[in-house]
Structure 1
């Protein structure tokens, strides 16, 4: 066993972890900035090193074997520990110091969140903050890997992560001022089938993080042709406003543009789909003192 630990190549283990998380050799290669054959070869070398079949390949897809799943579970634990080693080196003899990293989907508007962050950083002025804006899938991946303190995202949260509801946003369907749909009041969702669609990157029909908005699209057969997409709310709004297609936007963010005539609301006008934004945490990750204090304050507030 000691020989196994000494001879194991961590780079192979990390490559395997990324492959499983992406559920695709090609996507893993893109993330790792390597060629697909190189990634595939790395997995084969790891299988030879472990003496176990880790993936069952069939064409361009694969399934993870029981041995592969067990190795993946341990690899993510090891990675989260290693990635956070720099935090254990932080020392604060007199004042709390350190750096907190939060991963968030774009444009999360919460006065409560802002107030809590303000209170914390006023109390601990030597603590630094970095906020990374990413897609739902990437936020979840960063929390799983332990590379951020916590995440703010919507979608379907894996059971391995702890999730606290932060807010719920209602989404309306909009078009631009030059659209042939603009200003019409006689439309039904049926009339919108076949229209070019502008969506968020994570808003994929049949995707692993499909929420209410995507489910509404599927049930109403809207947005089969996705003409444009972005993970940024303002860029989705820009494409809708420029007439590239119709798309869903958070109503409270779109209302000012609609009031100026830059956007026009489309059905449904009631019972709109909504998206819940969660604060997600990896409970298996060891946090720094600064991170733990912020997280305790956040969770204590939301628990009430």
Structure 2
């Protein structure tokens, strides 16, 4: 076992972790700024070192073997521990200092989150904050790796991460005022099939983080042709408003634009799909004093 640890190239573990998280050799190569053959060779070297087959393939889909799943769990834990070593060296004084990074999907509005955030930074003015806006998949990835203190996202949260429900958003389907469906009150789901669709980057039919909105699309056969997408709510709204296609938006964000005549609401008008936004954290990551205190204060402020 000691020979194995001594001879293992830890860069291979990192490459393997990125491949699994991207579910693709090509996407992993793009993130790592390496060629696809180089990434493929690294995986083969890791499989030779471990004596186990780590990845497989079913048709065009990459799969992770049981041995690969076990190794991935260990690799993410090792990476998060190493990446956060500088924070573990900090000895937090009574007047907390340090840097906190929060990863979030776009346009999360919650008083239960904002109030403790405001109180914390008023009390500890020397603590710095960075907020990164990303897709659901990237928020989860940053929390898994320990590059974010915690995250705010929807979707399916992987086992091993802590998740507390922060809020729920209702989603309605909309088109722009100049769209050929605008103004019609006789529409049903059948009338929406085949219409070009505007969606969020993480809203992929059959994807890893498929939530209520995507499930509704699948059941109603809406949005098979995705004409535009963004991870930012305002850009999705802009494309819908400009007539590029129909798309789902949080109702509380869309209603002011409906009132101004820029958007038109389409069915469903009842039993709209919802998205649950979670505060997620990684219990395997060792947080600094400032990070832990902020996380504790926000969790204490969330009902339930």
TM-score, normalisation: structure 2? 0.96
The Cα offsets for residues 28-67 of structure 1, whole Å up to 9 and x where unpaired, read as 1122121111100011111222233222356654432333
Q: Secondary structure at the match of 1:228?
A: strand
List gaps (5 residues or longer) in structure 1.
Answer: none
The Cα of 1:278 is off from its aligned counterpart by 0.4
CA 56–173 in structure 1, closer or farther in 2 if over 3 Å, else same: closer
> Are 1:90 and 1:97, in contact at CA under 8 Å, matched by a contact in 2?
no
- Alignment-derived partner of residue 49 in structure 2: 49
Q: Secondary structure at the match of 2:132?
A: strand
- Alignment-derived partner of residue 280 in structure 2: 280
Aligned runs of 1:81-120 on 2, under 5 Å?
A: 81-120=81-120
- Does 2:6 align with 1:6? yes
- Does 2:17 align with 1:17? yes
- Alignment-derived partner of residue 221 in structure 1: 221
- Alignment-derived partner of residue 252 in structure 2: 252
- Alignment-derived partner of residue 192 in structure 2: 192
Moved more, 287-296 or 71-80: 71-80
Q: Secondary structure at the match of 1:77?
A: helix
- Alignment-derived partner of residue 30 in structure 1: 30
- Alignment-derived partner of residue 175 in structure 2: 175
Q: Secondary structure at the match of 1:293?
A: helix
RMSD: 1.4
Distance 1:219 1:186 in 2: 20
> Are 1:176 and 1:262, in contact at CA under 8 Å, matched by a contact in 2?
yes
- Alignment-derived partner of residue 294 in structure 2: 294
Distance 1:180 1:78 in 2: 54
The Cα offsets for residues 227-266 of structure 1, whole Å up to 9 and x where unpaired, read as 0000000000000010000000001101111111111111
- Alignment-derived partner of residue 157 in structure 2: 157
> Are 2:112 and 2:302, in contact at CA under 8 Å, matched by a contact in 1?
no
- Alignment-derived partner of residue 231 in structure 2: 231
List gaps (5 residues or longer) in structure 2.
Answer: none
> Are 1:91 and 1:97, in contact at CA under 8 Å, matched by a contact in 2?
no
Q: Secondary structure at the match of 2:302?
A: helix
The Cα of 1:146 is off from its aligned counterpart by 1.2
Distance 2:32 2:261 in 1: 44
- Alignment-derived partner of residue 204 in structure 1: 204
The Cα of 1:77 is off from its aligned counterpart by 0.9
Q: Secondary structure at the match of 1:138?
A: helix
- Alignment-derived partner of residue 136 in structure 1: 136
Distance 2:56 2:226 in 1: 33
